[in-house]
């Protein structure tokens, strides 16, 4: 598919989706429709990782205010939700690379990813409260990523925080220098890309299987994935065999 506002590429077990509506990557309804399609493409590509990045001086300044009007808001919310439903529906790990502002819907998009690497010039915030609305995805997400008081402070104040502060709040995995951002992202991805793609996806699936459950119910669901899915893969057998033979495993591509 040809996109106007999104770029995609794939290789070495990594599917890359790039927001390409510089300078601010403001999310319009047509751009969000393209993003849904691009994420669906990435889910089906070989490998266990998806990278979500952006061109321009901002990751994304959020959803176009013009698409919040009464005649468009239902359509806007529908496609906006489909972005996150697509992301939530994959066991592939999704990594956000944030070099610049991630505000409003752009902040929700970045923080909904499984892992976030940010440059030291990145900022994060949900300023919707200042224009009389609230961020639906962030209302669900932030209390699950940080403490309730911190989440409510961000939601109710609209405060914009630095990458370092976001890291302190547990919203960001790593902050890297802006002048070597591409190298920093590559280094961050390296420790995941050397792992088995299929085991990466099953590990994320197992981690999610235990969420919201007590231990007995959660470990039962996780053990089922371990015994019925993980141990049926060639990579699990290869990894264990390689360890005993004191050699590096050779993972299968998928």
Closest C-alpha to 104, from 6, 202, 27, 9: 27
Which has the closest alpha carbon to 99: 180, 4, 199?
Answer: 180
- What's the pLDDT at 2? 87
The rounded Cα 112 to chain-centroid distance in angstroms is 5
| 174-180, Cβ contacts within 8 angstroms, sequence gap of 24 or more | 174/117, 174/118, 175/117, 175/118, 175/119, 175/120, 175/122, 176/117, 176/118, 176/119, 176/120, 177/119, 177/120, 178/99, 178/119, 178/120, 178/121
End-to-end CA distance of the chain: 22
pLDDT in tens, 163-176: 999 999 999 999 99
Q: How far is CA 7 from CA 37, 137, 185, in A?
A: 11, 24, 18
Token representation of residue 124: 């994060």
Percentage with pLDDT > 70 across the chain: 100
Spatial CA neighbour of 4 closest among 28, 245, 49, 77: 28
What integer pLDDT is reported at residue 254 of this predicted model? 63
Provide the annotated active-site residues.
108, 128
pTM assigned to the model: 0.95
Listed residue (89, 91, 127, 87) closest to 107, CA to CA: 127
Q: Nearest 10 degrees: CA dihedral of 77, 79, 83, 86?
A: 120
For the stretch 104-145, pLDDT in tens is 999 999 999 999 999 999 999 999 999 999 999 999 999 999
Nearest to 145 by CA among 170, 116, 122, 165: 170
| CA 239 to each of CA 5, 190, 201, 243: distance values in angstroms, whole numbers, following the listed order | 41, 18, 15, 6
The percentage of residues in the chain with a pLDDT greater than 90, rounded to a whole number, is 95
DSSP classification of residue 190: H
Q: Summarize pLDDT for 26-41 with one digit per residue, the tens.
A: 999 999 999 999 999 9
For residue 102, the model assigns a pLDDT of: 98
How confident is the model over 191-243, as pLDDT tens digits? 999 999 999 999 999 999 999 999 999 999 999 999 999 999 999 999 999 99
The SS3 of residue 53 is: strand
- Whose tokens are 């909904």? That residue is 112
Question: For residue 108, what are its two tokens?
Answer: 């929700």
């Amino acid at each position: 598919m040809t996109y106007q506002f999104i770029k995609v590429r794939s290789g070495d077990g990594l599917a890359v989706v790039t927001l390409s509506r510089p300078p601010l990557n403001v999310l319009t309804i047509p751009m969000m429709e393209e993003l849904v399609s691009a994420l669906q493409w990435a889910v089906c590509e070989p490998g266990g990782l998806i990278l979500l990045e952006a061109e321009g001086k901002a990751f994304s300044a959020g959803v176009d205010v013009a698409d919040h009007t009464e005649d468009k808001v239902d359509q806007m919310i529908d496609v906006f939700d489909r972005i996150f439903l697509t992301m939530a529906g994959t066991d592939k790990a999704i990594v956000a690379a944030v070099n610049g502002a991630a505000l409003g819907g752009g902040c929700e998009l970045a923080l909904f990813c499984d892992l976030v690497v940010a440059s030291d010039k990145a900022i994060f915030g949900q300023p919707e409260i200042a224009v009389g609305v609230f961020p639906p995805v962030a209302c669900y997400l932030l209390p699950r990523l940080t403490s309730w008081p911190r989440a409510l402070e961000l939601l109710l104040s609209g405060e914009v925080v630095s990458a370092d502060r976001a890291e302190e709040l547990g919203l960001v995995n790593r902050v890297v220098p802006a002048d070597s951002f591409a190298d920093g992202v590559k280094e961050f991805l390296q420790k995941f890309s050397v792992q088995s793609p299929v085991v990466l996806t099953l590990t994320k699936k197992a981690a999610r299987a235990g969420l919201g459950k007590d231990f007995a119910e959660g470990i039962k669901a996780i053990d089922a994935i371990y015994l019925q899915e993980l141990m049926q893969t060639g990579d699990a057998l290869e990894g264990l065999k390689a360890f005993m033979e004191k050699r590096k495993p050779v993972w299968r591509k998928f």
